[in-house]
């Protein structure tokens, strides 16, 4: 069974004003069977306050769905299990040799107070050498149960180190100089119904910080009648099983403090110079430049990813001038190539997600503004706060940067029955903050490896 909160209920007046849940139902042929392989052709609507079923709705299983035609609605019986204990005997490869991660001398990190972590309700308890490998340290967390009571959960965050490839390299006079990148990774994993989200904060030796989200688990699917098609809105991932197209969005709240509390956010675009080829300013037509545009008000800071301008956002400190560039020191937010939200503005469910109308928002810090969609996702949050005072100053003050990113997911047959990880990342990099490459102090890999080459 998969539960979904009801979105638009305008076509069903008796649903209005109620707290409703849709339950999608599936069958199991044995206790641990992958139920998503056996979807039923109806769903159940439950009123959470009254605690009762108020309706049963037919699901669209035909190209010309009318709610009555059930011809060809045959629950698929094909088994689609993925757990190694459930797949057919001898179907697992035995030719892969283990890649062992060893840290014989221990880890290079020291650890922080576990009390700093207050994580989501659906957070997993993590396992060493499975969720994270190497010298792993775990943090327990204090979460809440369904009654709102505090409860302690074991191992909700793990920290470990990873080799992340070459950090920098150059070969001069046939002598290579090289360091390896060793990144520190903080991980938490939340299972939200059929999907599993892996959140990684990655800290690199050159000052780069990456927020990486991996998506895995099981696609949301429903039954198709025999010979029906998804009509351009889904992929048939297994006979009679449709995985609808959908989007995933994440919202990052950054309470910036770059060299102090008083910060400004600028848009940094890379564009061709306006002068025509053959002019004195652009004789060969290849000139391009970067343009920094400080964002002065919360209203003007509503901005979007722009890949053709290589757009990034700079968080700068106007009081802290770099001695070489004579410009404020900063940190650069490098976006993922996110799609826009594909809901029409007039859609009745649009207001619930209006915070996604822009990839980036900047607001003056307010203690109670923690969630981009508001506390109850009821049309409040960023759109309301900014509309209330579009002229609120965000220059040279304590600012919060909200960055929304994600992906449009067109399911593949290869995403079934369990989905190899998809991922998206947002990166923060120092931008004219240090006086040189901050990773010059990283020692080279041990000479032993070079002589073996
Ligand atoms: Cu998806």
Q: 121 and 258: one domain?
A: no
Asked, for residue 32, whether it belongs to a domain, the answer is no
CA of 247 to the centre of ligand 1 (A): 6
CA of 71 to the centre of ligand 1 (A): 29
196-227, pLDDT tens digit by residue?
999 999 999 999 999 999 999 999 999 999 99
Q: Answer yes or no: 398 catalytic.
A: no
CA of 1 to the centre of ligand 1 (A): 18
Helix residue ranges, H only, 207-310: none
Asked, for residue 223, whether it belongs to a domain, the answer is no
Which residue positions in the chain have pLDDT lower than 70? 2, 4, 6-10, 102, 104-105, 107-110, 112-121, 377-379, 446-453
Q: 324 and 391: one domain?
A: yes
Asked, for residue 36, whether it belongs to a domain, the answer is no
Which residue in 11, 113, 284, 441 is the catalytic one? 113
- pLDDT of the residue at 351: 81
Domain holding 387, by residue range, is 254-405
Q: 384 and 317: one domain?
A: yes
Q: 279 and 362: one domain?
A: yes
- pLDDT of the residue at 375: 78
- pLDDT of the residue at 430: 98
303-322, pLDDT tens digit by residue?
999 999 999 999 999 999 99
Strands 222-223 vs 209-217: parallel, antiparallel or unpaired: unpaired
Q: How far apart are CA 377 and CA 379, in angstroms?
A: 6
Asked, for residue 3, whether it belongs to a domain, the answer is no
- pLDDT of the residue at 115: 33
Q: 211 and 315: one domain?
A: no
CA of 196 to the centre of ligand 1 (A): 10
Residues across the chain: 453
Asked, for residue 232, whether it belongs to a domain, the answer is no
CATH of the domain at 362: 2.70.98.20
Number of structural domains the chain divides into: 2
Taking every pair of Cα atoms in the chain, the longest distance, rounded to a whole number of angstroms, is 79
Convert 127-159 to b/e letters by CB count within 10 Å (16 or more is b). eeeebbbbbbbbbebebeeeeeeeeebebbbbb
CA of 406 to the centre of ligand 1 (A): 10
Task: Determine the straight-line distance between the first and last CA of the chain, rounded to whole angstroms.
Answer: 55
Asked, for residue 192, whether it belongs to a domain, the answer is yes
Which residue in 195, 245, 259, 365 is the catalytic one? 195
Residue 356: φ, ψ to 5°: -85, 5
Q: 208 and 339: one domain?
A: no
Q: How far apart are CA 30 and CA 37, in angstroms?
A: 12
The tokens of 9 are what? 């209920």
Peptide bond into 417 cis (omega under 30): yes
Q: 198 and 282: one domain?
A: no
Q: 288 and 367: one domain?
A: yes
Asked, for residue 209, whether it belongs to a domain, the answer is yes
CA of 338 to the centre of ligand 1 (A): 14
Q: 278 and 398: one domain?
A: yes
Q: Answer yes or no: 8 catalytic.
A: no
Q: 359 and 320: one domain?
A: yes
Asked, for residue 121, whether it belongs to a domain, the answer is yes
Q: 372 and 274: one domain?
A: yes
Q: 125 and 161: one domain?
A: yes
Q: Which helix (H) or strand (E) holds 405?
A: strand 399-409
Convert 106-126 to b/e letters by CB count within 10 Å (16 or more is b). eeebeeeeeeebebbeebbeb
């Amino acid at each position: 069974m998969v539960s979904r909160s009801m979105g638009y209920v305008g076509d069903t007046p008796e649903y209005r004003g109620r707290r409703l849940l849709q339950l999608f139902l599936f069958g199991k042929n044995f206790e641990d069977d992958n139920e998503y392989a056996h979807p039923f052709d109806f769903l159940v609507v439950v009123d959470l306050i009254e605690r009762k079923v108020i309706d049963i709705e037919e699901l669209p299983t035909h190209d010309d769905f009318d709610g009555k035609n059930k011809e060809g609605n045959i629950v698929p019986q094909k088994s689609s299990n993925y757990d190694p204990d459930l797949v057919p005997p001898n179907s697992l490869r035995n030719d892969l040799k283990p890649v062992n991660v060893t840290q014989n001398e221990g880890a290079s990190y020291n650890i922080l107070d576990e009390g700093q972590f207050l994580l989501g309700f659906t957070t997993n308890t993590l396992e060493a050498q499975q969720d994270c490998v190497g010298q792993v340290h775990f943090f327990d967390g204090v979460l809440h149960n369904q009654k709102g009571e505090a409860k302690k959960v074991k191992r909700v965050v793990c920290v470990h180190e990873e080799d992340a490839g070459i950090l920098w390299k150059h070969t001069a006079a046939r002598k290579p100089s090289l360091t390896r990148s060793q990144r520190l990774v903080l991980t938490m994993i939340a299972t939200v119904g059929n999907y599993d989200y892996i959140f990684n904060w990655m800290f690199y030796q050159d000052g780069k910080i990456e927020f990486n989200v991996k998506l895995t688990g099981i696609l949301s699917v429903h039954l198709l009648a025999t010979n029906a098609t998804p009509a351009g809105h889904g992929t048939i991932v297994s006979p009679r099983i449709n995985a609808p197209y959908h989007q995933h969005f994440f919202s990052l709240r950054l309470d910036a403090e770059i060299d102090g509390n008083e910060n400004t956010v600028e848009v940094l675009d890379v564009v061709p110079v306006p002068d025509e080829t053959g002019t004195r300013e652009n004789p060969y037509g290849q000139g391009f430049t970067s343009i920094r545009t400080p964002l002065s008000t919360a209203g003007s800071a509503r901005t979007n990813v722009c890949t053709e301008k290589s757009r990034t956002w700079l968080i700068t400190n106007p009081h802290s001038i770099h001695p070489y560039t004579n410009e404020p020191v900063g940190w650069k937010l490098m976006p993922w190539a996110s799609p826009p939200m594909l809901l029409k503005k007039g859609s009745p469910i649009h207001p619930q997600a209006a915070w996604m109308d822009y990839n980036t928002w900047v607001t003056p810090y307010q203690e109670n503004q923690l969630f981009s969609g508001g506390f109850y996702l009821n049309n409040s949050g960023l759109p309301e706060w900014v509309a209330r005072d579009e002229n609120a100053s965000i220059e040279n003050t304590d600012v919060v940067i909200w960055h929304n990113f994600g992906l449009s997911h067109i399911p593949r047959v290869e995403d079934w029955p369990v989905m190899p990880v998809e991922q998206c990342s947002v990166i923060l990099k120092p931008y004219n903050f240090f006086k040189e490459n901050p990773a010059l102090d990283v020692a080279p890999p041990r000479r032993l490896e070079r002589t073996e080459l």
